[in-house]
Structure formats: C-alpha cells, structure tokens
Amino acid sequence: MDFTNPAPLSIPSLLFNMVIGLLLSVALALYYSRFGDSLSNRSRFAPILPTLSMITLLVIMVVKSSLALSLGLVGALSIVRFRTAIKDPEELIFLFFAIAIGLGLGADQRIPTLIAFLVIMGYLIIRKIIHKAFHFVQPNSLFLNISLPISGTSDVEAFKFVQQALAEELKRVDLRRFDSDGDEMQLVFYVNARNADGLARIADHIHKKYNKALVSVVEQNNLLGG
C-alpha cells in the first residue's frame, strides 16, 4: 500500500456533503442567533458556525484519504495557538456542535450525523419550550458591594443590620470581604437574585438608616467561576 500518494478525492461526494453540512450548520446558526442564552453578540458569532463546519468537513475529507496527510495535519495543528479564550459555556457547546457536523459529514457518516443533529436540536427546542412554559428563571450570580459610614455605630450593629436586610430578600448570601476602619465599613457579598426588585428594596432599606451608604452590584454570570 502506498501511503505517500493520497487517493483521489470524490468531488461529487465532497459537494454533496458540503450542501448537507451547510444546511445543518445554517439551521444551527439560526437557532443560536434567535434562541441562544449567551450574553455575547450572538448575531456576530452565529455566522461563524457554518464556516467552521465547512472547513472541518473539508479537512477531514482531504486527510482521510492519506496517512501521510493525516500525520502532517497533526504536526501542523500542534503549532497553532488560540489566544482568545471562550468563557461562555454555551458558545463552546455550539462550536463543538458545528465541528461535530463537519467531522461526521467529512467521514461520510451522513445518516448518523443527521440523526444526531435532529436528536440534539430536538432536545434544545424541547428544553427551550419547557423553560418558557414554566417560566424558569435562572438566578443571577452577583457581587453586592456595600459601603457604610459607621461613625458612632459599632461594627457589630452595622453588620447585623446589613445581614438582616439581605436575609429578608435573598435566599443565598455569602460574605466574601469585610473591611472596617472605624469610620467606614466595606462589605462584599456573593448573592443569587432572580430579579432587581429585591436588590432595590435592599438598597432602599439601607439608605433609610445610612443615607450616605453606597450600594453597588456587579454581575458575574459571564465570568468563569460565576
């Protein structure tokens, strides 16, 4: 067997696979753009998915005909470094989905690829319908920063007041930072909040007792570990 000369690539097979891959990846991109939950700019990210599927499909169809090309591809890809980190898990999932479409069709596994695509898309659509029907709301992971002027007030009294104000509105509250110099107290809490109304009531409650208090919120859903 000659491993140096690749087998001729079937142009009709390549075109047929690319048409199927284009249809599947465009459907995937449309779903992601319309129904995705990612906080990034989905309208700019979605058009990348069909291109990624087509490139993956072409690479697999070219290298599968030659062991030498396959080994060369491994060597070439080993020097590639991607500098932009994908922080959103949903983006990563759809990137892998697009690559899987290209891999399956590039290996001429059309029926398994089509079946897997329909099953996965069916699951995504059913999950979206259930979430919409039952009004499932994902709580926001937030950092709540509170700065209190405590001149004439003990640290214990001020801290207990803040804890009580948070407990009335939030189910989960984790203290992440505590600073006090006798004149000002800085508190940082990690909290889960389903809407902004509870946070507004907390700020209002704190300002009634400490009118110069500063309350700020930093959203953490789009960060790793948030």
Does the pLDDT value for residue 223 go beyond 50?
A: no
List the strands of the sheet with 184-193, edge to edge: 173-180, 184-193, 140-149, 214-219
Specify whether domain 140-219 bears CATH 3.40.50.2300: no
What digits encode the pLDDT tens for the residues 162-195?
Answer: 888 888 888 778 888 888 888 888 999 888 777 7
Q: Which of 55, 138, 61, 127 is nearest to 95 (CA)?
A: 55
Contact 24, 101 (CB under 8 A): yes
Whole-angstrom Cα distance, residue 163 to residue 151?
19
Q: Which range among 31-40, 134-143, 209-218 shows the weakest confidence by mean pLDDT? A: 134-143
Whole-angstrom Cα distance, residue 120 to residue 136?
21
pLDDT tier for residue 23 given thresholds of 50, 70 and 90: very high
Q: What is the pLDDT of residue 76?
A: 55
Average pLDDT over residues 39-47: 78
Whole-angstrom Cα distance, residue 20 to residue 27?
11
pLDDT tier for residue 225 given thresholds of 50, 70 and 90: very low
What digits encode the pLDDT tens for the residues 76-121?
Answer: 555 555 556 666 778 889 999 999 999 999 888 999 999 999 999 9
| Region(s) of the chain under CATH 3.30.70.260 | 140-219
Average pLDDT over residues 116-136: 87
Q: Is 133 exposed, middle or buried (0-12, 13-18, 19+ CB in 10 A)?
A: exposed
